[in-house]
Structure 1
Amino acid sequence: MTRVHKHIANHPLGDAPARGQAAAIPFGRPKVVDVNALQAHLASSPGLADDRQALLRQLVDGLDPAQLYWIAAWVANQAAHPTARQGAVAPANATRLTVLYGSQTGNARRVAERFAAEAEASGLPVRLVRAGAYATRELADERYLAVVVSTQGEGEPPDDARGFVEFLASRRAPKLPKLQYTVLGLGDSSYPQFNAMGRALDARLAELGAQRLAPLAEADIDIEPVAAPWSEGALALLRERLAHDAPIASVTPLRVAATRPQFHRDRPFPAPVLANQRIVSRASDRDVRHVELSLEGSGLRYAPGDALGVWHRNPASLVTAFLAALSLDGDAAVTHDGRTQPLREWLTRERELTRLSRPLVQAVAGRADSAGLRAALQSPDALRELFDSHQPIDLLRAHPADWDAAALVAALRPLTPRLYSIASSPRAVGDDEVHLTVAVVGYHAYGEPHLGAASHWIAAADEDATLDVFIEPNERFRLPADGARDVIMIGPGTGVAPFRAFVQERQQAGATGRNWLLFGNRHVADDFLYQVEWQQALKDGALHRLDVAFSRDQAQKRYVQHVLRERGAELYDWLAGGAHIYVCGDAAQMAKDVHSALADIVATHGGKTPEAAQAWLSELLQDGRYARDVY
């Protein structure tokens, strides 16, 4: 296979040498479908007339697996009970538990899936619904609702829950006096608006008259200590409440048995490094890597739009700096959560050393008796500034205090994997290979060098090394099933990674829709990532349009949002004609600026009021035609 690193050797920038509806989860014992046998049976049976087959294909086009399984179950029930077609349909307010989730990176989805499975195993009637697929008209008839929702950025909902959140906050939301509910919020205390969305949904449901079945639970990135007791308590109450209610009409279970891959988040695959090379010029003040990994033997599969999770180790220099700053012995045995190992091992493999969290700030404020830190904890703006400007080591140096090894381990939050948008299509590179585009974080602050722990770990991995990885699916960030659809891709910096995968995929699949890429970075001569590939894609017809913005190549900074406004008329024509639009990259500023530009374009060239333009974009988000992978 010809790898990209063979092409990058001739890169002018390269300095490296050549190298819809909710799915019902049936209760009781699921019936497992032999898919191969089913396909063989369908192939040998008379089937449907051509016109009916065309209608069926039109119906299922673009549906996700859960929606397809729901349709399969409903059809099976119709086949088993033909007379039921003339009977009553189970009412929307039938007694059941609805588990609703809004997830940005997959954590809320995983927790909700497990909670729904535990409820099903308990014999409870339950359905699992992604917030973006929930029919809000059903809310008034719900009786039992469990919401698992994450918070992203500055207290914002996940993109797939935005429509539900907006509906709930609006005057159209119904009164809910018959609803009993519970909310589990997932957040990251390194953000000032920690768990704001979970709190907001919990408060709004109560305001609408619903009764709390179980109190709001708020989990930090160490989810399990909060999620497990919440799940256990909520299920105990649900079993008690639902025991005396009539069950909903049963649907014949028909679904493929879910099997967890051999390698996953909690058991990552040691992927051999095939290539790891710098793809910016020597003159660039940044280091960006193109990394190729082997998945051979892992059984892992991915699709364009998915992310690769990487478990990293903290740099030895940073661990040493912690030990020196606090005068601690790295060989000291520390027992935490029932496990004992040297402090150095805790700091290297299991504790977050480059991201601040609210609990750590609280711990430092208490030990150092810092009035300034206590004041910052009460001010979102001050806390945000602290998080943006300090790593944990900076805080510990600025506020000296007596620390023992056990207290330090308890105060630092657990290490979490980093997620990187996948930069390859398996159709192009093969099922056993995956590519990443990684910006290596490094800077000076407070007189000391600072590193991005994960990016530094990846950059240091040579071709004899392995990286511990897993696949994180991202169903919200998928190419349209209809290859005739046009796609617009906005990806400045390393945000271009998934669009490399998209262009590869569309080319290999023979998609007939047009592809428009908007890319931005600092300097055209230094960091035009994958320049040769984009030029070749234009020549081959795999890319139909490429617009670029290099912010520092002229006196006035120029970003992708400026290009969007300049191309506004054409961009609106594409969108009005059914194009899908994708944004990937920085959530703090770029994604907001791009969204603002899109709203202005829709208002200006679509003849809409600003409010109507925002509503139109929200509708595109809900329909999956506007998708964002921002971080």
Structure 2
Amino acid sequence: MELTTQNSPLTDEQARQLNELLKGLEGHQVDWLSGYLAGWRASQVGQPAAAGSAPAASTEGPSLTVLYGSQTGNAEGVAEMLGEQAKARGIKANVVDMADYKPRQLKNESFVAILASTHGEGDPPDSAIDFHEFLHGRKAPGLKGVQYGVLALGDTSYEHFCQTGKDFDARFAELGATPLTDRVDCDVDYDDAAEAWVESMLAAIEEQAGASQAAATAAAASGPAAKSKYDRRNPFPAPVLENLVLNGRGSNKETRHIELSLEDSGLTYRPGDAVGVYPQNNPRLVASIIENLGLDPEESVGLGETSATLAQALQHYREITVLTRPLMEQWAGHSGDAELQKLVEDHAALTEWMRGRDLLDLIEAWPIAGLGADTLTAMLRKLPPRLYSIASSQAAVEEEVHMTIAAVRYESNGREREGVASTWLSDRLEEDETVPVYIDPNKNFKLPDDDDAPIIMIGPGTGVAPFRAFVQEREERGARGRNWLFFGEQHFHTDFLYQSEWLNWRRQGLIEHISVAFSRDQEEKIYVQNRIRDNATEIWSWLQDGAYIYVCGDADAMAPDVNEALIDVVAHEGNRNRDEATEYLRDLAREKRYQRDVY
């Protein structure tokens, strides 16, 4: 914010001079200056600095910069927790999205925390791409004197587990930085490991900077209390209000619209956020696993500080549908099977074998005689929550949250398979039951603050969910910005999700364009990327008018194909070569005008 005579007690000339000075200062210089001015003021009036002013430089606590790169919000959530706990311990903490950080400042930092998720097959999340590229490029500064820690978030079912965090850790060391604590690589069940890493980081900073100095400003730095007692560690049991099939008769798809009550939860959300759901495994699969191992389903097993029957543990608390490398390695050790051990040692072959298989496949392929129930549950990771883009605006539905979920069913390796959460919600959830949920905020996928800004929403299939929330929100706000929806599915008559709502909004003038692509309604398959190219001239015109582009849905095929189509639009309509068009999109992303929620 620029200083003026209206927002400060300064004269025009004083405000101008101070604005010019502040423009040229780095973050650590501003911190020093604030302490110096507080001390100078105290010396002038002959008394301690006023309450709420910054402490003098000589008594200032250590300063920590927390940088996060997050695709779904998990890394951001841990980063904010680290920042809050640091402040409570008298450590100045600045929590910054990597997309908003100027990486040339790194060389001036004292303590740095890097929290990064890994997206897709070892790639950094969208918000961390520029920071990752800069740090691995020739312009990266030397970091001697910088002390750092890395928390990597990932999924052991992917081949390149936590690769982005590993990249940052290795590169910081190459540039001369000193690790404060060992890097921690977190699986989908990351809470305990993340909390231990946060404690290790803060303890190391206090040791380096001096515990007494760190405690000096603890009371003044305490963070605000949470608004709701319900979160990822303590989900809210949300009653089911409605569970409807959106597809018409004869569709190859089964897409559900599910409405849950948040009454008395205190949970709030905004368009673009996700709802986390703790699901249940299919009891038939649980029974097959227990039967194949010859175990007693009622046997009690330990689950950390609690216990449950084996059947309850496998249905509610342990992952049994996805195989991971750590599980395979432990299984090989218990089985002593030479063939399995050879497979585990072959990275590519193991990855290929695990694809599409579950715990029952592993048991049938390499049974372990006498495997105990406690040993089994100890080898399995916790059943992680599933995240779904919220399909409603709280301004419109108040104490409800809506989801759009496709039931996943497929055949693999000679057996029928199903998605854990999607089939639980579709097949086995009664309307009088509750669903354990929490809100997962997504600051990287949100409506523009400017209600007059045009938006282009690209969401095939269930990717349309957040755009239902976007349009509901804009309707409630009375926003005047133009709205354009791109939607795709298999068939117009059976798969046009929320068709009546979209058409009603178009009749009202709230939506200006609806561009649809139904791939199986004609001999040649047509997808949303084809419609993007068909509308290149007008899309370019909207971009020139300041439009924001949003993409939601499949990360493996749809998102790259849409990105290619947008590059083609910019190249052709903007008279740019491919590299220039790619950089144009990158610039839009940096300006938060090209946002993606892909999975």
Code of the residue aligned with 2:190 in structure 1: it is I
1:492–1:518: 8 Å Cα contact kept in structure 2? yes
TM-aligned CA deviation for residue 188 of structure 1: 0.8
Partner of 2:475: 507
| Structure 2 residue 505 is the aligned partner of structure 1 residue 537 | yes
Cα pair distance change 1:90/1:509, threshold 3 Å: farther
Q: Are 2:416 and 1:416 equivalent residues in the alignment? A: no
Q: Is residue 439 from structure 1 mapped to residue 416 from structure 2 by the alignment?
A: no
Give the Cα–Cα distance (whole angstroms) in 1 for the partners of residues 569 and 408 of structure 2.
34
Taking the aligned partners of 2:246 and 2:309, their CA distance within structure 1 comes to 38
* Matches for 1:116-265 after TM superposition, within 5 Å: 116-243=83-210, 257-265=224-232
Q: Secondary structure at the match of 2:307?
A: strand
> Which residue of the partner structure matches residue 264 of structure 2?
297
Moved more, 214-223 or 418-427: 214-223
| 1:124 to partner: Cα distance | 2.1
- The Cα offsets for residues 174-221 of structure 1, whole Å up to 9 and x where unpaired, read as 121221111111111011110000000111111222222222221112
Q: Secondary structure at the match of 1:292?
A: strand
Partner deviation per Cα, 1:352-374 (whole Å, 9 max, x = no partner): 12222222222333344566655
Distance change >3 Å, CA 500–CA 90, structure 1 → 2: farther
Q: CA deviation at 1:95?
A: 5.4
Find the counterpart in structure 2 of residue 451 from structure 1. 418
Map of 2:368 onto structure 1: 401
- Report Cα offsets for 1:431-476 as digits up to 9, x if no partner: 1112111111122334433221211221132322221211111111
Does structure 1 residue 359 correspond to structure 2 residue 313? no
Tell me by how many angstroms 1:596 deviates: 2.2
Classify the secondary structure of the residue corresponding to 1:407. helix
Give the C-alpha shift of residue 90 in structure 1.
8.6
Q: Which amino acid aligns with 1:437?
A: T
* 2:568 matches 1:597: no
Residues 192, 383 of structure 1: 8 Å contact kept:
no
The match for 2:247 is 280
What's 1:611 paired with?
579
Between 323-332 and 473-482, report the one with greater CA deviation: 323-332
Q: Over residues 585-606 of structure 1, what are the superposed CA-to-partner deviations in whole Å (9 max), with x where a residue is unaligned?
A: 1112211221222223222222
> TM-score w.r.t. structure 2 length?
0.86
Distance in 2 (alpha carbons) for counterparts of 1:100 and 1:471: 22
Q: CA deviation at 1:531?
A: 1.3
Unmatched segments (≥5 aa) in structure 1? 1-19, 22-45, 53-69
Q: Aligned pair 1:519/2:499, yes or no?
A: no
In 2, are the aligned partners of 1:490 and 1:584 still within 8 Å (CA)?
yes
Q: Is the 8 A contact 2:61 2:90 kept in 1?
A: no
* Secondary structure at the counterpart of residue 525 of structure 1: helix
Alignment CA distance shift 1:250-1:598 (3 Å): farther
The AA in structure 2 aligned to 1:455 is: S
Aligned residues of 2:552 and 2:596 also touching (Cα < 8 A): yes
Question: How many equivalent pairs are there?
Answer: 560
Aligned residue number for residue 24 of structure 2: none
Moved more, 209-218 or 177-186: 209-218
Q: C-alpha distance in 1, partners of 2:570/2:41?
A: 49
* Preserved contact between residue 237 and residue 437 of structure 2 (Cα < 8 Å): yes
User: Taking structure 1 as reference, are residues 491 and 352 closer, same or farther at Cα in structure 2, changes over 3 Å only?
Assistant: same
User: CA 1:163/1:453 → structure 2, altered by over 3 Å: closer, same or farther?
Assistant: same
Give the match for residue 331 of structure 1. Answer: 298
Deviates more, 1:225-234 or 1:589-598: 225-234
Contact kept, 8 Å, 1:307 with 1:420, in 2: the verdict is yes
Shift of 1:541: 0.9
1:108 is the counterpart of 2:75: yes
- Checking the alignment, whether the CA contact within 8 Å between 2:90 and 2:221 is kept in structure 1 is no
Tell me which amino acid in the other structure corresponds to 1:215: D
Name the CA shift for 1:255/1:531 in 2 (closer, same or farther; >3 Å).
Answer: farther
Distance 1:94 1:616 in 2: 42
Amino acid at match of 1:621: A
Residue 515 of structure 2: which of 547, 567, 575 is its match? Answer: 547
Alpha-carbon distance between aligned partners in 2 of 1:182 and 1:162, rounded to the nearest angstrom: 19
| Aligned 8 A contact 2:153 2:186 in 1 | yes
Distance 1:458 1:343, change over 3 A: same
Conservation of the 8 A alpha-carbon contact between 2:87 and 2:218: no
Contact 1:144 1:181 in 2 (8 A): yes
Alpha-carbon shift at residue 513 of structure 1 (Å): 1.2
State the SS of the aligned residue for 1:181: strand
SS at match of 1:272: strand
Distance in 1 (alpha carbons) for counterparts of 2:341 and 2:542: 51
Identify which range, 228-237 or 431-440, moves more after superposition. 228-237
Q: Which residue of 2 aligns with 1:34?
A: none
The answer on whether the counterparts of 1:120 and 1:126 sit within 8 Å (CA) in structure 2 is: yes
- Give the C-alpha shift of residue 406 in structure 1: 1.6
**1:476 is aligned with what amino acid?**
N
* Rounded Cα–Cα distance in structure 1 between residues aligned with 2:577 and 2:137: 19
SS in 2 for 1:401: coil
Mapped contact 2:551–2:559 kept (Cα < 8 A): yes
Paired residue type of 1:390: R
1:556 corresponds to which residue?
524
Q: Are 2:90 and 2:218, in contact at CA under 8 Å, matched by a contact in 1? A: no
Q: Which amino acid aligns with 1:202?
A: D
Instruction: Check the 8 A contact 1:424/1:500 in 2, yes or no.
Output: yes
Q: CA deviation at 1:498?
A: 0.4
List gaps (5 residues or longer) in structure 2: 13-29
| Secondary structure of 1:434 counterpart | strand
Query: Does the residue aligned with 2:155 lie in a helix, a strand or coil?
Result: coil
**Secondary structure in 2 matching 1:221:** coil
Question: What is the one-letter code of the residue matched to 1:195?
Answer: C
Q: Which has the higher contact order (CA 8 A, sep 6+)?
A: 1
Match of 1:573 among 541, 555, 559: 541
Alpha-carbon RMSD: 3.4
Conserved in 2, the CA contact under 8 Å of 1:95 and 1:245? Answer: no
% identical aligned pairs: 45
